[in-house]
Structure 1
Amino acid sequence: MIEVKNNRTPLIQKLATFLATGLYVGYSPYAPGTAGSLLGIIIFYFLPSTNPLLYGIILFFSCVTAIWIVSIAKASFPTKDPSPIVCDEVVGYMVSVFLIPFSIFNAIILFLLFRFFDIVKPFPIRAIDKKIENSFGIVLDDIAAGIYANALFHLLRKFAVL
């Protein structure tokens, strides 16, 4: 008997990869993480920043969903933290803009702060990135970078630097 192998990717895998790559933005040949963060700016524009409770609920479910999506989509890539997966950058950017009203200025400053912390990875972000090698860790280091960006933004605002 000849065994026929089914090489088709299941629909859930395709959908997870589509979402995890930020609607395929993560396949950008140049700086896919930055491209994913730029997608976050578009999402920021549409988020209900004037309703902290609703935003918090959306943010919580976005984080949980990102972890789940990454856990499925990772199977399509050979590395532990595949660069095409950018939903973690989107969620991290969403964290960075929490409780901040949308404006082009705020969006750009927070984009720069978030990318800085995501790339430099100050303590404990680098430790999270190195020690937690699953989908939770992939998303958590970007959430931490978003928290740092948000906190620094609020400090700069408080001291009238921005």
Structure 2
Amino acid sequence: MNKSTKVNFKLSDPVHFLALGFGSGLAPKAPGTFGTLAAIPLVLLMAYLPALEYAAVMSVAIVFGVYLCGKTARDVGVHDHGAIVWDEIAGLMVTMFMMPITWQSVALGFVLFRIFDILKPWPISLLDKKVHGGLGIMLDDILAGAMAWLIMYFVFLH
């Protein structure tokens, strides 16, 4: 089965519900983009947190995401099914860490994260191929978020 194979997710299962980005990953086209869109309200709420608390919430989202994505993938029998988008949510959290929140910064962060997530330049592509399970699902998006953050840093903070 491939990443877009139709499977039976259980939205009534809290693990599936979260892994599917509150259902956003079930969009028929571009589920990763819809998952990233679902992250925006969370990032906007987190923007009010001090940096250390934001980092703590983000870290929990990443660590918990390894479990969420891994379990959901195992439950449906498809590694990194396109509908599993918690990794996009965590990736945008990384992208927006300590950034000023304006419509321009959110739009640029969104676009940059999606570019790195879709194109998977080296070393993201290497991680995507070599690391499996929940960690593999999460890790490439966390690195995509970090690469987007680096550009955001030079645009907004440097």
TM-score interval w.r.t. the shorter chain? 0.7 to 0.9
Contact 2:113/2:145, CA 8 A, preserved across alignment = yes
Task: Tell me what 2:156 maps to.
Answer: 157
Distance of 1:78 and 1:152 partners within structure 2: 36
Contact 1:49/1:98, CA 8 A, preserved across alignment = no
- The residue type equivalent to 1:108 in the other structure is A
SS in 1 for 2:44: helix
Task: Tell me what 2:3 maps to.
Answer: none
SS in 1 for 2:81: coil
1:81-100 CA-partner distances (Å, limit 9, x unpaired): 10010000000010000011
Distance of 1:48 and 1:158 partners within structure 2: 15
How many residues of Structure 1 are paired with residues of Structure 2 in the alignment? 149
Distance of 1:141 and 1:74 partners within structure 2: 16
**Worse-matched range after superposition: 65-74 or 123-132:** 65-74
1:60-94 CA-partner distances (Å, limit 9, x unpaired): 11101111111211123332110010000000010
1:135 aligns with 2:143: no
* TM-score, reference length from structure 2: 0.88
> Quick check: which has more Rg, 1 or 2?
1
Q: Superposition RMSD on alpha carbons, in Å? A: 1.8
Contact 1:70/1:135, CA 8 A, preserved across alignment = yes
Distance of 1:77 and 1:103 partners within structure 2: 38
The structural deviation recorded for 1:49 is: 4.7
Task: Tell me what 1:3 maps to.
Answer: none
Distance of 1:147 and 1:76 partners within structure 2: 29
Matches of residues 89-128 of structure 1 in structure 2 within 5 Å? 89-128=88-127
Distance of 1:38 and 1:124 partners within structure 2: 25
- The residue type equivalent to 2:103 in the other structure is I
Structure 2, unmatched stretches of 5+, are 1-7
The structural deviation recorded for 1:134 is: 1.1
Task: Tell me what 1:62 maps to.
Answer: 61
1:45 aligns with 2:44: yes
* TM-score, reference length from structure 1: 0.86
Distance of 2:156 and 2:105 partners within structure 1: 11
The structural deviation recorded for 1:40 is: 1.2
